[in-house]
Structure 1
Amino acid sequence: MGTTAEQYLQQLDAGRRPNLPETTAGTLRLDVRDDGSTEHWYLTVSDQQVQVARSADDADLVVRADRWVFDQMVDGQLHPGAALLRNDLTLQGDMRLLMVLRRIFAGPSGARHPRDLGRAALAAQGRSSTDAREDRS
């Protein structure tokens, strides 16, 4: 297994995250259950930045799940929406912030945005048609 949720959150920098919508702001509390205890992670999202703290304060969205669920979400093996539908996690509060959580977590290693893949395919297609025209000349 790759990075755990705890490792990922501990090293999450407070720099700008361009994959977050500029207008998104709110707080999330992640309640990570493991062996009868619960760890609390508090994320503050504002101006495309994420601040991480250890706190059980009230938040706009509280996400509760077992440690393995958060670990799989961090690795990109489990989408938060799918985990919600399978009752692997529970929510309390502003559900719109759940998709922000998906953007905060890194996703699978080697993953690329679909638009980048489309642009690369179009560029390759453009090169192959240029090569075909040159061959006909």
Structure 2
Amino acid sequence: MTEATERFFESLPARAPTVLRGLVDGTLQIDLSTDNQTEHWLVRMRPGAIEVSRSRGPADAIWYSSAELFDRLIAGEAQGVAAVLRNESTFSGNVVLFLGFRRFFPNPPGTRDPREVARKAAGRLG
């Protein structure tokens, strides 16, 4: 497991109050594979809080990914939903947990909120 992955999981509890809001409540098991080895992370999420351990289920959902892809996700170089749709990773279970967890990943460099772009364009027109 990379140091970046370790730091990412260590940072989750402090970031949870601003990231996790709404209906996210359950346990997500994240299985990260490198060659023939799989690392397990168990992430218990609820509104405003998260607990992380290096163990396996029981879980409400399981997300399988390569460690290489996960490193790209935490660097903002890949998108979680796109990776699942391209079959680069797989997911089973409560999709709300996956959608909530992906909010911890950074946006790709240069990404702008389309609402902000529209506000600036409207300001120039008016």
- Asked if these proteins are the same fold (TM beyond 0.5), I'd say yes
Aligned residues between the structures: 124
- The aligned residue for residue 22 of structure 2 is 22
Q: Deviations over 1:33-82 (max 9, x none)?
A: 01211111111111222221111122111001110111111122211111
CA distance in 2, matches of 1:89, 1:80: 8
The gaps in structure 2 that reach 5 residues or longer are none
CA distance in 1, matches of 2:90, 2:81: 11
Shift of 1:24: 1.6
The residue matched to 1:21 in structure 2 has which SS? coil
CA distance in 1, matches of 2:73, 2:18: 20
Q: Which amino acid aligns with 1:104?
A: F
- Does the 8 Å CA contact 2:25/2:46 hold for their aligned counterparts? yes
Shift of 1:20: 2.8
Shift of 1:84: 0.8
CA distance in 2, matches of 1:5, 1:115: 31
Relative contact order higher in (CA < 8 Å, ≥ 6 apart): 2
- Does the 8 Å CA contact 1:14/1:51 hold for their aligned counterparts? no
- The aligned residue for residue 74 of structure 1 is 74
The gaps in structure 1 that reach 5 residues or longer are 130-137
Q: Which structure: larger Rg?
A: 1
The residue matched to 2:63 in structure 1 has which SS? strand
CA distance in 2, matches of 1:27, 1:48: 14
Q: Which amino acid aligns with 1:47?
A: P
TM (norm. structure 2) is: 0.78
- The aligned residue for residue 85 of structure 1 is 85
Residue identity over aligned pairs, in percent, reads 31
Computed over aligned residues only, the root mean square deviation of the Cα atoms, in angstroms, reads 2.5
TM (norm. structure 1) is: 0.73
CA distance in 2, matches of 1:93, 1:103: 18
